[in-house]
Structure 1
Amino acid sequence: MTSSSSCLRRVLPLCLLAWTAVAQGADETDLFESYLRPAHPAADGFAPVPDAAKIRPGSPLHALAHGRVVSVGAERNSVTLEHLYHENHELLRVRSEYSGLEGVELHPGALVTRGQVMGQVSKSVRPSVSLSTDRRMSTEEAWRFTSTRARLPQPATEPVLVLISHAKHQLRLYERGVERARVEVGFGQGTGPKQERGDNRTPVGMYFIIHTLRGEIPGPYGAFYGGHWLKVNYPNPWDARRGVERGWLNEKTRERITRAWEAREATDANTRLGSGIGFHGWASEWSLEQSRGRLSWGCVVFHPRDIAALYDRMPRGTMVVLF
């Protein structure tokens, strides 16, 4: 959308279950829709991988998370599920396999919910539950994977959700999965995802709006906010993990950032990762053609009338995903 266009309001069906979007002919190449409404329902969390030694013969074996049946063993003694899940700015996938079963009644393509019975544990074969991505996880890796993903975000159910595409220079605003507006936006002067303080890049990731301000913005560059400022809680846990790997912060700081982010509160602003990322307007009208959308020191820049129109619709606590 160009700067001369008004905020487009396009009401969509409220599809909290992802597969309905495909049934309705959703454009799978649309970056926003493919993130928000994948081919089958995204997991809202994973149950712990059970200890095979403690599983009793004849007892039911349950699915770890929402997913889709990929395959069933020829003798109907095993099931493999594919799980999709949102993590930071990505939609990821993992498979779980349940073997040593009897009486499996599922079929490939069937949708499965968390806790659903996969089959009864065999009385003659030792059961197992495993996880794999590009390779099979060890028992310790699988335990860590599920324990750190007991609860997962469900963007389509958020009261207010903002999705932003770097590639499209576009922002879309949703209310409980229903698209309400889309506008053109600009980014930082530096190209690529933000890495550290002062690189003038805009991050990718999942954040929450933690502070809003409208009116005169103090300071020498206050005019460039266009009278509106909505701050997000960058850095997030994944940014912090990157900081630990590079030796920029310690584990204690990473844990503090993670707790604050989970509470949708401000995170540590005093590390080499940087801070002060948010949304704002601009001192005057701008065009993508003239500026290439490279305007700020790392923030998301709105056209003046778009930020004025959408400011009240993005309250504190709003989930923001930049990809």
Structure 2
Amino acid sequence: MSSSPLRCLAVMWALGLLLSPGAQATPTADVFEAWLHPSTPPADGFEPLPAPSRAPAGSEVRALAHGRVVAVDAQAQSLTLEHLFYENHELLRIRAEYAPLAERKLSPGDTVKRGQGLGRVAPKGRLSVTLHGGKLLSDTEARSFLQARARLPQPAQEPVLLLVSHNDYAMRLYTRGQEMARVEVGFGQAEGRKQVRGDNRTPMGMYHVVQKHRGTFTGPYAEYYGGHWIRLNYPNTWDADRGLAEGLITREVRNRIARAWAERKPTEGSTRLGSGIGFHGWVGPWTREETGGRLSWGCVVMHTPDIAALYEKIPVGAMVVLF
């Protein structure tokens, strides 16, 4: 469990913007499918906010990202798109309103692709594109939001993806969006989202597999690995952002963590945020009835036969989302 194997810890940091969970856009009892396969294709990135001076009357207006038309106002000559996108472990949504538009080509319910034409700037009009994410974003906020999300993850396209649901005590393995396996899992002994090293909580967030070991382990708790260890690159960028805001790490450390995480490499494990998060087996058979699913110091615990069967199917570099 990394350089601090006895503290299998983790952290979740929520998005600071007031954005709505996008998973609610697809009512379903299956939280895994709602998260991974929403009704509207998630954005793979956003285009920069167009400058009104570069969009004169009559010029074509294009969608900032993949999305769906949710409103067309003929009187105000406006068209509103809703965009879903992944941010850490959350599927979020934000709306973009375009006005004034003439020659609109779309109707409510239509899906659009990034860069697709929406219509033309109305005669004598001045293009305005505004973003709404729980609140109206200022022009500066909108530009910053789009610039920071020029590229976005597409979990359903990952060669290997592990989704772990805290509420369901369950994990599913996907290959390019197709479910390959589902198993029961357990979590840290303490409930809630991890905040600091030693709180025995399991994280929520998007991570990557950075280390694997199968076979013999040493140390006083070696048998609790169940002969298998799959390490994740916790903390991630959002964990680091929270740590910076709370004075747990410096800006320099935050930036190092963010760079390493983006490259799917191990991130720093010596900070107050903790480290050593991953998947492992257990010392023996366990049940949720007997344990409540609360077993580890913060890691995700699998039944040893399950991790033994899936170990070779989970490569280094695979994306893991705990939500």
**Which secondary structure does the structure 1 equivalent of 2:34 belong to?**
helix
- Corresponding residue for residue 260 of structure 2: 260
Aligned 1:156-171 pairs, distance under 5 A: 156-171=156-171
Aligned 1:263-274 pairs, distance under 5 A: 263-274=263-274
Distance apart, 1:180 and its partner CA: 0.7
Task: Describe the superposition over 1:284-316 as per-residue Cα deviations: whole angstroms up to 9, x where unpaired.
Answer: 111111111111100000111001000001110
| Contact 1:76–1:105 (Cα < 8 Å) also in 2 | no
**Which secondary structure does the structure 2 equivalent of 1:129 belong to?**
strand
Distance apart, 1:135 and its partner CA: 1.2
- Corresponding residue for residue 291 of structure 1: 291
Mapped to 1, the partners of 2:264 and 2:138 lie a distance apart of 33
**Which secondary structure does the structure 2 equivalent of 1:114 belong to?**
coil
Distance apart, 1:141 and its partner CA: 0.4
Mapped to 1, the partners of 2:144 and 2:210 lie a distance apart of 30
Distance apart, 1:76 and its partner CA: 7.6
| Contact 2:231–2:277 (Cα < 8 Å) also in 1 | yes
Mapped to 1, the partners of 2:27 and 2:238 lie a distance apart of 29
Aligned 1:168-247 pairs, distance under 5 A: 168-247=168-247
Aligned 1:42-81 pairs, distance under 5 A: 42-75=42-75, 77-81=77-81
Distance apart, 1:318 and its partner CA: 0.7
- Corresponding residue for residue 28 of structure 1: 28
AA at the equivalent of 1:99: A
Distance apart, 1:114 and its partner CA: 0.3
Mapped to 2, the partners of 1:253 and 1:116 lie a distance apart of 40
Distance apart, 1:52 and its partner CA: 1.6
Distance apart, 1:53 and its partner CA: 2.7
Select the structure with the greater relative contact order (CA < 8 A; seq sep ≥ 6).
Answer: 2
| Contact 2:76–2:100 (Cα < 8 Å) also in 1 | no
RMSD: 1.3
Mapped to 1, the partners of 2:294 and 2:66 lie a distance apart of 40
**Which secondary structure does the structure 1 equivalent of 2:61 belong to?**
strand
Mapped to 1, the partners of 2:101 and 2:283 lie a distance apart of 66
Mapped to 2, the partners of 1:94 and 1:157 lie a distance apart of 22
| Contact 2:56–2:126 (Cα < 8 Å) also in 1 | no
**Which secondary structure does the structure 2 equivalent of 1:321 belong to?**
strand
Mapped to 2, the partners of 1:129 and 1:200 lie a distance apart of 45
Matched, 1:141 2:171: no
Task: Describe the superposition over 1:83-102 as per-residue Cα deviations: whole angstroms up to 9, x where unpaired.
Answer: 01111111100000110221
- Corresponding residue for residue 281 of structure 1: 281
AA at the equivalent of 1:95: R
| Contact 2:189–2:200 (Cα < 8 Å) also in 1 | yes
Task: Describe the superposition over 1:201-221 as per-residue Cα deviations: whole angstroms up to 9, x where unpaired.
Answer: 100000000000000012211
Q: How many equivalent residue pairs?
A: 299
| TM-score under structure 1 length normalisation | 0.90
- Corresponding residue for residue 251 of structure 1: 251
Task: Describe the superposition over 1:12-71 as per-residue Cα deviations: whole angstroms up to 9, x where unpaired.
Answer: xxxxxxxxxx9xxx9712110100011211101100111123322221111000000011
Mapped to 1, the partners of 2:70 and 2:76 lie a distance apart of 13
Mapped to 1, the partners of 2:291 and 2:197 lie a distance apart of 23
5+ long unaligned stretches in structure 2: 1-24
- Corresponding residue for residue 101 of structure 1: 101
- Corresponding residue for residue 82 of structure 2: 82
| Contact 1:226–1:304 (Cα < 8 Å) also in 2 | yes
| TM-score under structure 2 length normalisation | 0.90
AA at the equivalent of 2:123: K
AA at the equivalent of 2:139: T
AA at the equivalent of 2:156: A
Distance apart, 1:77 and its partner CA: 2.4
